[in-house]
Structure 1
């Protein structure tokens, strides 16, 4: 057995010797594995242009059939380059690398002195110490070529028909500018550019030395600067060219109907464009969305007579950029309804409105075969809709209450431009999908309405409903500063007045120490047993957007039970309550699922407190945005993780606003022991910078 093993070893060793003798030459380098700097091997019109002496590289392989594994084989690269000098004499240079592992990249950094603007050819072969591979140019291979370019391109020139350089303010927001970039140099292959210091982008002409046109959509008025570098085939960048232009505010609508006409009118006057004829199913003088500039709107009854039309196009050419928007309030959401459309023969070129799918309503913008949907229409609830078709990109967008919804879609609008319609859409031989509800402030633009403008069009200015400074009380009531509904103080509630400055305890030993008020000269103090304050009726409409702000300080670091600072009741329970929960050491926003006795409650938002709510007091705000179906609990003017929740179906409460107590089963409970000050109530959503101003004794600016 031992002899057999020895014999096997001898044969194996002999076989290894034979393999070494029969060494195979390295493989021919592949043209695809060759580079001049970072550029692929090419010749003729495909040759590389470089800005200096380049690095030539190749990946070389030795066959795996050799006596060693592939990773154990070593090869060297022999590079050869040649060119014809100015005197007509051919010059050649060679370079051989050290041997490295098969499959790795080999380099040759060429020496300086390569003549400019001269075609240099090169190839490479592999050497394993015994045999050479064929040159990379042999057989199906090819010679690689490059040219060293030592000249920089001239500066780019810039022109724009929409935005001429250094002129007065022109065109405006939402109108594309087209900028043609060119250079006197005939070897420019790219233009690197940016607008107002943004990220550089690259545009490439169809041929070297050609021009290229780039587009830009201004989204704000102001002075813009376009900066451009021309880049040649060798990668040289020219000096920078700057082009300054001035963009004005966005153009006014090409058609605009407020629909705030006098009751009994038979047509809608146009702020811009042509008056719209009204069918007999249209009633003017309907309610307008609060917080807007509209005084009234038009109500359409959903019948065949409920429509308005100027009997002419509002969009001159639907294939060009346009936008259409309106304030809408549907009286029903269980069927398809159209806000605005424009005829295109026996169909419509576009339609904005409400669609139902499997019984679920959604807002919709249909244009050129594309339908965008999003948002959740609610019966009797105002929304602002805006559809935008951008001919520059060929895409359509839908905005609901200032927020883009759904996904942009590619669209190809029809060329026909028929009459503009409000409240109906054409299909076949007649109209259908008639609107039932209110419409107002219909606008049609011949440009892109940019996102900031969409937000502005849908904005609803908050309105102050009440401000109770809680500094005085007369006959058991603390006044609202504008003469509105006062707060009536229940048993055990009192107004604490801070020191009046008549004496100073630190100087006068007979001066009684009096604690300062939370804010201003006084605050409301509650005993935690039966004390509260309340209005005579509801203050905020909890089914619509609202904002409440208050300053509160607890009397105890570890209260024995939850304590409510604000609530507003429905018939059987609270629509909401803001309370301190000692077990969680947090302020909570608590809401029931429905207005029923014993309805389950949910903590929809919570903000933890480090000091148990004592100290100098804390500024708390509750903001419900009906447009986004979000409700947020703010602390010290800030929203944090866990302080915002979805609230898709806010219901209207009918009871008074309560300070210091909440419903608890069949009676009242969760009485607050502590101090309350600076109570504010608004209809609408305060901006965050306004929320941060609440509780300081001054009115927020309500910037608009």
Structure 2
């Protein structure tokens, strides 16, 4: 009986086999015998998720790593619907201090062919010891070859369990002994070192929030970085050391104090009395003037200069010393205030002689497409900016021997592209207004030069901005608190604004009664600023000066507070305007179609001239409903105009205005010119008009419109 069942079982198995064979995919062959798993490829092995390393030196890890491998079985072993599974056998080994071979092994759980297997190395492995590892696959029947079998070698690593020692920092130029050391614009060396022999890098930060990393030339070697302080004061250099395993040390904080930048090595104000034949040197050697030099020329407004030297562009229009003014073979800088009388040819502000040429040249070059300021050293030249005839500019050229780059600043801003330059040692006389080449002197300056300085260090951007700063001066401030004889006074005794019909000084008096208790006491809104403002009826009401308030051909700033009732903001209205002969130099207005305040500046004093328009959307009453603070800043040095609105926090619009032109018309408050004459009368309130010669900085704009004048520090 049992034999019969065995026969039936064999017959049933044979039938099932026949069915399976009948449903196999045509053309697919399967191995009759099991094949061993594939040998793991080194490219499929990782130590702590980094590629397997088989050579010297072995990589270091800060903790026992995770070993991973992709393991597979030959495709021929797969049966349809039954993919093969393999497990992994990992093995690690090392030699202990007694010379005995130590081994550990681990088997992973089975997984489908081609999957990742991992082994977390135990934490009791020895530190600072080269540990090797390999892996092979098992399909449940046979082991595959080891990954370390030829031609590949075993993977290797070292476990590092100790952090490096805290680094030390030294600097000969900037010691941490609480002395104030020289100084802004002067490089110093800072050496970082650690007693740990396996330190390979240092991460450091010079109080500026920017972390930098420097590599050691070999493990344990000290590193030295160069650093130039950009400001005076106390610095903290924070340093951490890192070893080969990526372990970091405790942080070292190295403190040092930096002095302000050194004074110029040569300095001529060129503000000598008219008739002088020598320019007095504040530092350095006096400069002898040729007969084409006239002292007592005009000075740039808003600077400490009282006068300048005018050079006539002839062969006699120059100043020169009998000695060099600066060592051009090292880091140096040269700068001056200049005003060219022409821009159609190359002209030099300053240079210094070599035997057959010049170590550098600072000046301008004429171009077919326009002039540009230049700073040249040898064959390298930086060009940028746009010189304008009769317009003041501050120039500064810097050569940094540490970086090998020449830079050019115009009016406090870097222009052009810094150029790689090779220093040219120039031991000859310093030249003002001309430059030397192989055939003699050329490129003679025509125009004014003042406050010429040379430095034996880098002049940092903050200092450049201070040298080029033209401090704005207050031209007028009208607060509209009182009126007498049809005019409202200027706060500092200047010209009053005359009030036209429909213009009154609004002074709320509701504080003398209580609207909620007294039915005859009407509510009166407060003035925009302080206790009074200018109220305009929108039908002809305006105020005006007898003449212009700002020179629109030069830098200027205007501030005003204005409010238009929402119900009346249904047509264009002008807040401020100042006209030329044929059109307005500027018009500050409200445009209801876009709910925006607009500044309109025609490019020329011509009817129908193209206009620059900048806008700010704030609505007629501002975000607070208590009026809008507007400011217009025109910077002739950068040919830009900005419109600030509603608090000045970050609301500003900018346009490029290359050639500002001077208007002679009077300032108008509350009206502007139209095709039919005066129009766009404003209906609303105006307060705190402030006018400045010069461009206020963005940080100073926030001080406008509060009843006081901002500190122009």
Q: Same fold (TM over 0.5)?
A: yes
Equivalent residue, structure 1, for 2:29: 17
8 Å Cα contact 2:205/2:239 also seen in 1: yes
CA contact (8 A) 1:26 1:127 kept: no
Structure 1 partner of 2:347: 337
Q: How does 1:585-624 map to 2 (within 5 A)?
A: 585-599=595-609, 601=611, 603-609=613-619, 611=621, 616-624=626-634
Q: Report how many residues are paired.
A: 693
Change over 3 Å in CA distance of 1:159–1:471 after alignment to 2: same
In the alignment, the residues of structure 1 paired with residue 398 and residue 461 of structure 2 have an alpha-carbon distance, to the nearest angstrom, of 10
2:450 aligned with 1:440: yes
Give yes or no for the alignment of 1:578 onto 2:588.
Answer: yes
Give per-residue Cα distances to partners, 1:132-157, cap 9 Å, x unaligned.
65444333422333233333322212
In the alignment, is the contact (CA less than 8 A) between 1:281 and 1:301 conserved in 2?
yes
Separation in structure 2 between the aligned mates of residue 178 and residue 530 of structure 1, nearest angstrom: 71
Deviates more, 1:73-82 or 1:236-245: 73-82
SS in 2 for 1:352: strand
Q: Is the 8 A contact 1:464 1:681 kept in 2?
A: yes
Q: Is the 8 A contact 1:557 1:611 kept in 2?
A: no
Please give the residue correspondences for 1:162-561 in structure 2 after superposition, counting only pairs within 5 Å: 162-196=173-207, 198-318=209-329, 320-499=330-509, 504=513, 517-554=527-564, 557-559=567-569, 561=571
1:697 to 2:676 alignment: no
1:28-64 CA-partner distances (Å, limit 9, x unpaired): 512x554433555446641122333222234556677
TM-aligned CA deviation for residue 555 of structure 1: 5.7
Structure 1 residues 535 and 613, CA, compared in 2 at 3 Å: closer, same or farther? farther
Cα 1:332–1:136 shift into 2, 3 Å: farther
Q: Separation in 1 of the partners of 2:26 and 2:711?
A: 96
Whether 1:137 and 2:148 are equivalent positions in the alignment is yes
Is 1:684 aligned with 2:694? yes
CA distance, structure 2, for counterparts of residue 685 and residue 484 of structure 1:
21
Question: Does the CA contact (< 8 Å) of 1:553 and 1:613 recur in 2?
Answer: no
Tell me, in whole angstroms, the C-alpha distance in 2 between the residues paired with 1:38 and 1:214. 33
The residue number in structure 2 matching 1:661 is 671
Change (3 A) 1:197 1:219: closer
Mark the CA change 1:519 to 1:234 in structure 2 (over 3 Å): closer, same or farther.
Answer: closer
Deviation at 1:416, TM superposition (A): 4.3
- Residues 455-483 of structure 1, C-alpha deviation per residue, up to 9 Å, x if partnerless? 11111111011122333334333332323
Cα distance in 2, alignment partners of residues 518 and 145 from structure 1: 78
The alpha-carbon deviation at position 114 of structure 1 amounts to 1.2
Quickly say closer, same or farther: Cα 1:634–1:18, change in 2 above 3 A.
closer
Contact 2:551–2:693 (Cα < 8 Å) also in 1:
yes
Equivalent residues of 1:313, 1:420 under 8 A apart: yes
> Is residue 159 of structure 2 the alignment partner of residue 148 of structure 1?
yes
C-alpha distance 473-212 of structure 1, shift in aligned 2 (>3 A): same
Q: Within 2, Cα distance between the matches of 1:278 and 1:527? A: 63
Residues 150-197 of structure 1, C-alpha deviations (whole Å, 9 max, x = no match): 333222121101101123111111122211111122221122222227
Is the Cα contact below 8 Å between 1:554 and 1:613 reproduced in 2?
A: no
Judged with a 3 Å threshold, the aligned counterparts in structure 2 of structure 1 residues 115 and 500 are, in CA distance, closer, same or farther, namely closer
Partner-residue secondary structure (3-state), 2:371: strand
Select between 294-303 and 357-366 the one with higher mean Cα deviation. Answer: 357-366
Bigger shift: 520-529 or 608-617? Answer: 608-617
Question: Unaligned stretches of 5+ in structure 1?
Answer: 1-5
- In the aligned structure 2, how far is the partner of 1:312 from the partner of 1:238? 53
Q: Is the 8 A contact 1:29 1:61 kept in 2?
A: no
Whether contact under 8 Å (2:644, 2:651) holds in the other structure is no
1:530/1:68 CA distance change after superposition, 3 Å: farther
State the 1:222 CA deviation.
1.5
State the partner residue of 2:12.
none
Contact (CA 8 Å) 1:568, 1:576: kept in 2 or not? Answer: yes
Aligned twin of 1:160: 171
Q: Which residues of structure 2 form unaligned runs of 5+?
A: 1-17
| Structure 1 position 26 matched with structure 2 position 69 | no
How much has 1:683 moved relative to structure 2?
0.4
User: CA 1:142–1:305 in structure 2 vs 1: closer, same or farther (change >3 Å)?
Assistant: farther
- Contact 2:565/2:621, CA 8 A, preserved across alignment: no
Alpha-carbon distance change, 38 to 207 in structure 1, aligned in 2, over 3 angstroms:
farther
1:269 Cα shift? Answer: 1.4
Contact 1:257 1:442 in 2 (8 A): yes
Q: Using structure 2 for the length normalisation, give the TM-score.
A: 0.88
Instruction: Please give the alpha-carbon distance, in whole angstroms, between the structure 1 residues aligned to 2:563 and 2:27.
Output: 94
Q: 1: CA distance between counterparts of 2:69 and 2:624?
A: 74
Change (3 A) 1:547 1:642: closer
Q: Is the deviation greater in 632-641 or in 269-278? A: 632-641
Aligned to 2:10: none
- Distance across 2 between alignment mates of 1:262 and 1:68: 106
- CA shift at 1:684, angstroms? 0.8
Q: CA deviation at 1:496?
A: 4.1
